[in-house]
Chain A
Amino acid sequence: MTVGDWSTLLSGIIYGSECSSMESTQDNGNLANVRHIILVMSGKGGVGKSTLSTQIALALRHAGKRVGILDVDLCGPSIPRMLNAVGKEVHQCDSGWVPVYVDQEKTISLMSIGFLLDGQDDAVVWRGPKKNAMINQFINDVAWGELDFLIVDTPPGTSDEHISTVQALRPFKPMGAVMVTTPQAVAVGDVRRELTFCKKTGLAVIGIVENMSGFVCPYCSECSNIFSKGGGEELAKYAGVPFLGCVPIDPLLSKSAEEGKDFIQEFPNSAAYPALTSIAKLILEKAALTI
């Protein structure tokens, strides 16, 4: 599809520039059979939101759950590469867009703007209102079918994408947000603001993950705290929200994200494995309580 094609698709939707009055009125739309919706957020960019979204999804899949991932990062969609789905196409069906299935068993499905661009390097140069319309379409018009979890990966910040996503998801009562930070003060400061966003919009916080927390040298096993240490845990205490754990810097994890590999399956002995599986376990426990 070209950009022109889907701007035509978007026409007929009425929206204002300052408000988003697009709250879904249908009770049993495409998200009706989705049990739990989890947002992955951070005020800061490059802290590992997409990497964690992907790995949490894979870990939940290994626990026997059906998982969908919705990538609402419109200017920098990373998930298709991380799940080795670059170049796949989205098809239409009666109830909307069919997401891309990553595995043959169809246990992980994915929707991202990356699948709608002609060229991989095409820039999505859009102001807010167009982004909002796209997000509303992503939330209402993707035929997810039956899912145990829908993970929504967001861009950094507290602006259009976030306001629109939270507003459009409100009727479906999301379970909450997993907040990702790196340990240094500059990142923690931005995540503090994201917590305020959650408070103001009434979105529950499932907990905080401290990513890139220390690096163990593969040659001499010396641990270097490249981006400092402990900032995420301190923030969780300060804000009174659960701390989900520290994920260390692990070149195998970055490499898996680069090559679209299933880190959880391929590297069970690596440094980041226990942290990631324990985060997934905490999410499963929390989900079991909210049914």
Chain B
Amino acid sequence: MCIDSVYFVADCPGTSSSEAGKGTACQGCPNQSICASGANSAPDPAIEEVKEKLSTVKHKLLVLSGKGGVGKSTFSAQLAYGLAEDEDKQIALLDVDLCGPSIPKMMGLENEQVHHSGSGWSPVYVEDNLAVMSIGFLINSPDDAIIWRGPKKNGMIKQFLRDVDWGEVDYLIVDTPPGTSDEHLSVVQYLSTACIDGAVIITTPQEVSLQDVRKEINFCRKVNVPIIGIVENMSGFICPKCKNKSQIFPPTTGGSEKMCNDLGIPLLGSIPLDEAIGRTCDSGKSFLTNVPDSPAVFSYRKIIQRIQEFCDQKNR
């Protein structure tokens, strides 16, 4: 479990660097002696295996946020449903939130199990063109907790990327847990040669969320993941009775618009709160097709279109 987890610290010189195990940042790192011995200087062979496995996947997108509970999984789920409305496109959704997998419930796939085949794990299909993989399919009871430290999580993520049999896929959407730690580093490392098209970063309007999201932006810049743009979720609530708008999470520092301007990152759009979003997610249905008149659906569709355009441009 040890060698395949490449530790990564703030100023880590990199395991393949000549400074590996010798830099100032290496002091105190548990892998210092391994790095210094040179045993770890060869890249993990799994990185090439992942590249090979995902050579049939055209576009790889990450959904990230420094903050929890801002709607990463909700957005990932709706993005998958939205893209899959085009029956000619194959969509894959991978949930790497190992401690809090929400995707099975949101896609209406609770109690589903993964099947093993000769060529790997078969994902679970919502529609013919929408495949899903989550740790939720590997645990037996909704009470089961995944109480794992980093190295075990990294091993699982490696398996998800290397051993799932997606087939031909146009878009692979990777939904992540909050933060900038093991899961994020592993996904980025294992996809380093398979190439990530870009990341969509989700936030809510208040500063308490934006301050964590700025950290996530710095993370992306540090590990060279292109940022497609920011989505501001939970952006105001319109009372269904009097139609007045309330800011539940007030943008006291100018919200994501100001942050995007300051940092030179595109704002893909703002999605208002709508009771029906949580309700459709809890019942595992597409919000886009079940509540087509909601103002939030218009925002979702515009954002999904911008993401498609980003990927199309990359194609050329």
Contacts and interface: CB of A to CB of B under 8 A. Distances in A.
Contact of A44 (B68, B98, B152): B68
A193 interface: yes
A75 B5 contact: no
B219 A17 contact: no
Contact of A120 (B105, B211, B282): B211
A219 B100 contact: no
A197 interface: yes
Determine the interface band of chain A, counting residues with CB < 8 A from chain B. Answer: 35 or more
Given A126-B9, A228-B279, A251-B250, A8 B142 contact: no
Given A125-B181, A125-B185, A158-B99, A7 B149 contact: no
B145 A45 contact: no
B208 A82 contact: yes
B292 interface: no
Contacts of A217: 239, 241-242, 244, 246
A201 B246 CA distance: 42
B28 A133 contact: yes
B239 A219 contact: yes
Nearest to A50: B208
B138 interface: no
A100 B105 CA distance: 42
B69 A44 contact: yes
Most B Cβ at <10 Å: residue of A159, A162, A194: A159
Contact of A47 (B69, B216, B244, B250): B69
A191 to B, nearest CB: 9
A141 interface: no
Interface string A137-157: 000000000000000000111
B215 A182 contact: no
Contacts, number: 266
A157 B145 CA distance: 9
Contacts of B275: 224-226
Contacts of B152: 18
Contact of A156 (B68, B142, B153, B246): B68
A104 interface: no
A156 B177 contact: yes
B9 A130 contact: yes
B252 A125 contact: no
Contact of B100 (A10, A43, A81, A184): A43
Interface in B245-293: 246-250, 252-253, 273, 275, 278-279, 281-282
Contacts of A249: 248
Interface residues of B, number: 80
A186 interface: yes
Given A78-B211, A196-B143, A254-B250, A129 B150 contact: yes
Interface string B298-309: 000000000000
Given A3-B10, A7-B27, A44-B68, A123 B215 contact: yes
Interface stretch (A89-97, A255-263, A268-276): A255-263
A224 B206 contact: no
Contacts of A12: 28
Given A17-B151, A125-B184, A259-B252, 18 more contacts: A3-B25, A46-B209, A78-B211, A120-B211, A124-B180, A125-B10, A126-B10, A128-B150, A129-B29, A130-B7, A158-B99, A187-B69, A190-B100, A194-B145, A218-B246, A251-B248, A254-B248, A258-B207
Interface of B: 1-2, 5, 7-11, 24-25, 27-30, 66-70, 73, 98-100, 102, 105-106, 142-153, 177-182, 184-185, 204, 206-209, 211-212, 214-219, 222-223, 237, 239-242, 244, 246-250, 252-253, 273, 275, 278-279, 281-282
Name the 3 nearest CB pairs between A and B, nearest first.
A45-B68, A46-B69, A128-B150
